[in-house]
Amino acid sequence: MGMTMTQKILAAHAGLDSVVAGQLIEANLDLVLGNDVTAPVAINEMDKIGADKVFNKDKIMLVSDHFTPNKDIKSAQNAKQIRVFANKHDITNYFELGEMGIEHCLLPEKGLCAPGELIIGADSHTCTYGAVGAFSTGVGSTDMAAGMMTGKGWFKVPEAIRFNLTGKFNKYVSGKDLILYIIGLIGVDGALYCSMEFGGEGLKNVSMDSRFTVANMAIEAGAKNGIFEVDDITLAYVNDHVKNREWTAYTPDADAVYKRVIDIDLSKLESTVAMPHLPENAKPVSEVAGIKVDQVVIGSCTNGRMEDLREAADIMRGKKVAKGVRVIVLPGTQKIVMECIQEGIFQTFIECGAVVSTPTCGPCLGGHMGVLADGELAVSTTNRNFVGRMGHVDSKVILASPAVAAATAITGVLTDPNKL
């Protein structure tokens, strides 16, 4: 019986010739990730059992991104705890204020993920790195602790859903529209503990930034991971970022077994949004346009990359943010900040009436830098729109692409960017 991409990666890291869906395995880890919310819990668990060393100081990444710059004493204490831990164990990949970024933007930028690698992180959106053909998945903080100590993790081998992509995106349609369409199609539990595996001839028309967005939101369909076939676009990215280590790209076997196969023609997709209060409440923006909004957020680990910010700036250039609308831009990393400055993108946003933040998760989780009050509605390029996700329990969030968010910022109502 053939194997999928994910099954091949898990088999290789478990030292097995093959694995099947449902099999329990112990596998070697290539990287363990933690942030300022989840890593302190893992560190506390290590302290409880008296663990005094990590398995490999080069294969752990710690980053303060959720509440930095620190918003209160608790967040300052959390940041201090991982700073002390990183210094104690001489962690190579430790990043905080001044060199930090939103973890799922920063990790690929630093070349810390590559095809065929196995990565866990104590954050649900760790599935982002499937964009480069890695198996990456979110775990709990106790599993993170075990991973930091032993370099191993246990997994149940997932079934897979295959997505065959054809065609090419239309103007103002991108990876965010694709993943919202998919979640609307299969539901928030439609890929429960499955691997979402993407391939097909249409892949050549999907940029790396769009792939990161799609893989990032695999968890919103309940998936264990999302993963893309490695092609020339992947190789160009990986060769530019990953240095001084070997990696292996895995392709699915022709007779790999899939729970379901879904064909998607990219040319038939429209700009898509997810209405409150679930990512599966997906609708073409043309069907729900005109809803008044209070706040627009452009950025996050889902859509804070250069392609995202360039597209938003192109739409907003020379225009003004609608009166009464607050617009917050969240670049993914310090490098992206510099590129935005050099290209005049920040100037465009500020001249329009938006504010630009340092890289931070901030408003995405209702943490800081844009928390919603009761009755307020935000259009956001983030990844979740659960009840109370970005603030007050009586606030609402509509998930959208950077193009839709930018158009909405200008009009003050939910807007199809092709109709601006």
Give the CATH number for residue 318.
3.30.499.10
Residues 250 and 388 in one domain: no
Give dist(CA 109, CA 127) in Å, integer.
Answer: 15
- Does 140 score more than 90 pLDDT? yes
Residue 62 lies in a domain: yes
Q: Within this chain, do residues 87 and 148 fall inside the same structural domain, yes or no?
A: yes
Instruction: Give the mean pLDDT of 212-241.
Output: 97
Q: 244: Cβ–Cβ under 8 A, 6 or more apart, which residues?
A: none
User: Quick one: tokens of 327?
Assistant: 């617009």
pLDDT confidence tier of residue 53, bands split at 50, 70 and 90: very high
Same domain, 103 and 166: yes
Does the pLDDT at position 45 exceed 90?
Answer: yes
Q: Do 257 and 300 have their domain in common?
A: no
Question: Is the domain of 216 the same as that of 280?
Answer: no
Task: Let me know if residue 386 belongs to a domain.
Answer: yes
Q: Are residues 87 and 143 in the same domain?
A: yes
- Give yes or no for residue 380 having a pLDDT over 90: yes
Whether the Cβ atoms of residue 218 and residue 190 lie closer than 8 Å to each other: no
Structurally, the chain folds into a number of domains equal to: 2
Q: Which domain holds residue 72?
A: 5-265
Average pLDDT rounded to a whole number, residues 12-21: 97
Quick check: 81 and 40 in contact, CB under 8 A?
yes
The answer to whether residue 294 sits within a structural domain is: yes
Contact 217, 179 (CB under 8 A): yes
**What are the structure tokens assigned to 374, written together?**
């009761």
CB count, 10 Å around CB of 2? Answer: 12
Residue 1 has pLDDT above 90, yes or no: no
Judge if 242 and 292 occupy the same domain: no
What are the beta bridge partners of residue 164?
199, 263
| Mean pLDDT score of the chain | 96
- 90 and 153 assigned to the same domain: yes
Mean pLDDT of all residues in 127-138: 98
Let me know: does 365 contact 66? Beta carbons within 8 Å.
yes
Judge whether residue 403 has pLDDT over 90. Answer: yes
Asked if the model's pLDDT at residue 97 lies above 90, the reply is no
Q: pLDDT by residue (tens digit) across 342-372? A: 999 999 999 999 999 999 988 888 888 899 9
Verify that 93 and 161 share a domain, yes or no. yes
pLDDT band at 18 (very low <50, low <70, confident <90, very high): very high
74-89 pLDDT tens trace = 999 999 999 999 999 9
d(CA 158, CA 289): 38
Of the residues 218, 241, 265, the one at which a domain ends: 265
Mean pLDDT of 190-201: 97
The CA distance from 369 to 67, in Å, is 9
Q: Are 216 and 108 in contact (CB under 8 A)?
A: no
Tell me, yes or no, whether 250 and 333 share the same domain: no
**258 and 286 belong to one structural domain:** no
190: Cβ contacts below 8 Å, ≥ 6 apart: 183, 221, 222, 280
What are the tens digits of pLDDT across the range 253-294? 999 999 999 999 999 999 999 999 999 999 999 999 999 999
In this prediction, residue 415 carries a pLDDT of: 97
Residue 420 lies in a domain: no
Are both 93 and 191 inside the same structural domain?
yes
Q: Note the pLDDT of residue 196.
A: 98
